[in-house]
Structure 1
Amino acid sequence: MKILQLHNFYKISGGEDVVVRAEKNVLEAHGNSVALLDVDNDAIASKFSQAMTAVNAIYSHASKQRVLQEINRFRPDIVHVHNFFPLLSPAVYDACREARVPVVQTLHNFRLFCSNSFFYRDGKVCEDCMGKFFPTPAVVHACYRDSHVGSAVVGTMQTVHRIRGTWRDRVERYIALTDFARNKFIEGGLPANKITVKPNFVSVDPGCGEGRGDYALFVGRLSPEKGIETLITAWEKLGDRIGLKIIGDGPLSPTVEQAATRIPGVEWMGRQSQNQLQALLKNAQVLIFPSLWYETFGLVVIEAYAAGVPVIASNLGTMSLLIDPGRTGLLFRAGDAQDLQERVEWMLSHPQEVKKMRQEARREFESKYTATQNYQQLMEIYETVRS
């Protein structure tokens, strides 16, 4: 099969970018031909380019022509859209319709219904724009990059394409990453019969680790919605009972750097390669996943499972589905540093139970999140839209 992937990479790479490359690799490994048409937000630098991006985010005729040219060159059986925002724009769907190529869209975030894509504002879950004709609350609160104008642009894009029927009519199949996310997209107005659940996967099996390191691990973007402040507060109370290694960067990097100098056992390691991450995971006692937003998936959770590492996560949205409390990890009240502290202390005082959790975490990976299983699921989706 020939698959054309479309993706807008972010300035700070995240889970979406990892998934795009992983799916490309697994498709090609099974003999399929894959072309990736990508753009990068690094191109948005000057004031002029920012202004043009705002206009084109609603509808980019240039992107439509670029996609049409690539379709004519590559002749794909499927176009798989991962992220069109902001540079590609929803115009890519019109290009595919004109070329009569079916579209599959992975819903990596909630951008179709939320201006900042997180359903998150002021430290907590926010769904104020859900069901609104126009997302006025997002404009009032400057939810997109703290900009009233930028939020109005995103809101206009959402509204125009809902009225045009873009989301309803121009995508043959959506992929949601969990049942929780699927239900949110249905609530937002996407047709239920077009949404299939397919989780993300771990492309390279790292093998099960032994957890010999005396540390917990956090991996992710250092930003407010990821629960960084909850994490730091919990470790202020835990003291040096167990170390904490923090991997990642982002707007809260200065906060994390300061915490690492102040709190015993806390170490900020910045960004790490995939090989380095796998090594750190295999020796970790536990992965901490303290997000304050729903998360559409949480790739690092299943990377931890692949290494046999249990997870302590917020009892919120998708996390409450990925973690089986008492078997593959524990859940704590989102934003509650004391509750997180108590869950970590429970693990430290129950080594035999944690040993069993490590075994169950690995089994969870083997039963649901391998590359082979995911490839089969993806091909079934592709075959459905081709028939």
Structure 2
Amino acid sequence: MKILLVHCHYRLPGGEDAVFAAERAMLERHGHEVLVYERSNEEAAHGLPKALLPLHAIWNRAAARDVKRIIQTKNVDAVHIHNTLLLLSPAVVRAAKHTGVPVVQTLHNFRLFCPNGILLRGGQVCEDCPHHGLACAVRHRCYRGSLAQTLVVAAAYGLHRLLGTWRGVTMVALTEFDRRKLLEFNRLHPMFDADRLVVKPNPVCVPDGPVTPRENRKNQMLFAGRLEELKGLRTVLEAWRLLGDTAPTLLVAGEGPLGDWARAQNLPNVRFLGQLSRTELHARMAESRAVVAASLCYESFALVPAEAHALGTPVLASDLGNVGASVQPGVDGLRFTPGDANALAGAVRALGQMSFDCNAIAARARSTYSEEENYNALMRFYTKGTTK
């Protein structure tokens, strides 16, 4: 097949960029001809492009024309869209589906119903926009704390909701939790065809080698992610303060706005590793007794827990959203109350008294997130039929 991938990069690289690149490489490894139409919001950082960005975010005629031309002149068989915010706009979705080829869009977040994409406001889960309308986001300035920018994003999704832009498009949720939430929201404010919402996890790539047995692992646990409020770092460090000298070593991998604060706590059993490469991170996961995922929001795809499980490492997860849903208590980890340091400390103690089959954890995860499963799912979506 000849496949067109469409993606708009944010100004700071993120997980969506990594998935876009990984799926592109996977398709090429399987012999497909992959065409790419990609732009970056960095293009609109200054001058006239910046002034025009609000209009382009709502309807970028040039981008829509480009996508349509590529499909028609290159005889594209299927189109897979990742991110359209801000520069591309949902107009590229309309342009693609009007050519009649199958169109797939991955929903990397909840942006269809929530302008900030993560259903979070003031450090708490918030579902006001899905239930009461996008005006809630405008009132609270939910996109980057800006009234003007929130208004633009809300206008873009509000307009394309009315136009039925996503009707006839195969929409890909990353988890079953996301699917249930999206269907719930879609019943209140229809955006897409419910029977076209499917589930496909992101590919998870870890070394294929043997799994380190639990008894050979170091007395350490790993926190990996951006050092910020919504990842629950304060909860984790408070739990280690409560554990005191009995705590296993906590490795903290990543950087972010809470980095200076976290280091200033001077906790004796906590080591800061900074930003690690994926290879280095996987090595730390594989030698640790557990990974701590303390997120305070739903998240869209819990990559760190998925990678940990693929390496046979149990996960201590806050019982919320996709992070909590990724763990089967007693089988591949434990859950604790989100934001509750005492509960996390208790989970650390409990895990120390339990035994886990690391090989079984890895086998289940590698099967679920394997490249072959991902590839076969994409092929089903790409041949689903025309969208006219």
State whether TM-score is above 0.5. yes
Query: Residue 193 of structure 1 aligns with which residue?
Result: 195
Output the CA distance in 1 between the equivalents of 2:255 and 2:10. Answer: 14
Are 1:176 and 1:196, in contact at CA under 8 Å, matched by a contact in 2? yes
TM-score normalised according to structure 2 size: 0.91
Are 1:14 and 1:221, in contact at CA under 8 Å, matched by a contact in 2? no
Instruction: Give the letter aligned to residue 4 of structure 2.
Output: L
Query: Residue 237 of structure 2 aligns with which residue?
Result: 232
Output the CA distance in 2 between the equivalents of 1:40 and 1:237. Answer: 44
TM-score normalised according to structure 1 size: 0.91
Are 2:331 and 2:356, in contact at CA under 8 Å, matched by a contact in 1? no
Output the CA distance in 1 between the equivalents of 2:355 and 2:32. Answer: 41
Query: Residue 141 of structure 1 aligns with which residue?
Result: 140
Instruction: Give the letter aligned to residue 326 of structure 2.
Output: L
Query: Residue 163 of structure 1 aligns with which residue?
Result: 162
State the identity %: 40
- Structure 1 position 318, deviation (Å): 1.9
Are 2:222 and 2:252, in contact at CA under 8 Å, matched by a contact in 1? yes
Moved over 6 A (4+): none
Distance 1:322 1:92, change over 3 A: same
Query: Residue 255 of structure 2 aligns with which residue?
Result: 249
Distance 1:93 1:334, change over 3 A: same
Query: Residue 189 of structure 2 aligns with which residue?
Result: none
Cα RMSD of the aligned pairs, angstroms, is 2.0
More displaced stretch, 150-159 vs 236-245: 236-245
What number of residue pairs does the alignment pair up?
Answer: 378
Are 1:305 and 1:365, in contact at CA under 8 Å, matched by a contact in 2? yes
Are 1:77 and 1:102, in contact at CA under 8 Å, matched by a contact in 2? yes
More displaced stretch, 58-67 vs 234-243: 234-243
Query: Residue 176 of structure 1 aligns with which residue?
Result: 173
Where in structure 2 are the equivalents of 1:241-280 lying within 5 Å? 241-259=247-265, 262-280=266-284
SS in structure 2 opposite 1:104?
strand
- Structure 1 position 10, deviation (Å): 2.5
SS in structure 2 opposite 1:99?
coil
SS in structure 1 opposite 2:320?
coil
Distance 1:26 1:203, change over 3 A: farther
Q: Which runs of 5+ in 2 are unaligned?
A: 187-191
Output the CA distance in 1 between the equivalents of 2:222 and 2:82. Answer: 28
The alignment status of 1:216 with 2:199, answered yes or no, reads no
Output the CA distance in 2 between the equivalents of 1:140 and 1:123. Answer: 17
Output the CA distance in 2 between the equivalents of 1:250 and 1:70. Answer: 39
Where in structure 2 are the equivalents of 1:1-387 lying within 5 Å? 1-46=1-46, 48-133=48-133, 135-169=134-168, 171=169, 173-189=170-186, 190-207=192-209, 208-210=211-213, 212-240=217-245, 241-259=247-265, 262-348=266-352, 350=353, 353-356=354-357, 358-385=358-385
Instruction: Give the letter aligned to residue 188 of structure 1.
Output: F
- Structure 1 position 3, deviation (Å): 1.3
Output the CA distance in 2 between the equivalents of 1:39 and 1:215. Answer: 41
Per-residue CA shift, 1:244-281, capped at 9, x if unaligned? 2222233333333434xx11232232322121111111
Output the CA distance in 1 between the equivalents of 2:321 and 2:117. Answer: 15
Output the CA distance in 2 between the equivalents of 1:312 and 1:204. Answer: 20
Are 1:26 and 1:203, in contact at CA under 8 Å, matched by a contact in 2? no
Q: Which runs of 5+ in 1 are unaligned?
A: none
- Structure 1 position 334, deviation (Å): 1.1
Are 2:102 and 2:382, in contact at CA under 8 Å, matched by a contact in 1? no
Instruction: Give the letter aligned to residue 317 of structure 1.
Output: G
Output the CA distance in 1 between the equivalents of 2:6 and 2:129. Answer: 27
Output the CA distance in 1 between the equivalents of 2:165 and 2:194. Answer: 15
Are 2:103 and 2:382, in contact at CA under 8 Å, matched by a contact in 1? no
Per-residue CA shift, 1:71-120, capped at 9, x if unaligned? 34543211101111111110111221343322101111001110110001
Are 1:121 and 1:143, in contact at CA under 8 Å, matched by a contact in 2? yes
